[in-house]
Amino acid sequence: MMVEKTLYPWERPTQEQIEEIRRAADMPVVYDEDCPPISKTMGEKIRKAVQERNRKLREKA
């Protein structure tokens, strides 16, 4: 199960959230047919797409 929570710069995570993040960091990544491992080529394409998206967001600001 995945839980998503956005923390804004003026917010602080609760102690419970910090503990949950620490527990999640220790869990192994489980790959399956819906979530296969990413190849180095695909990882590079994702990295470039994120950089381009971030560049465009900075230009708007």
**Joined tokens for residue 10:** 């003026």
pLDDT per residue as tens digits for the range 20-59: 999 999 999 999 999 899 999 999 999 999 999 999 999 9
Per-residue pLDDT at 4: 84
Q: Which residues contact 7 (CB under 8 A, 6 or more apart)?
A: 13
CB 29 within 8 A of CB 23: no
pTM above 0.95, yes or no: no
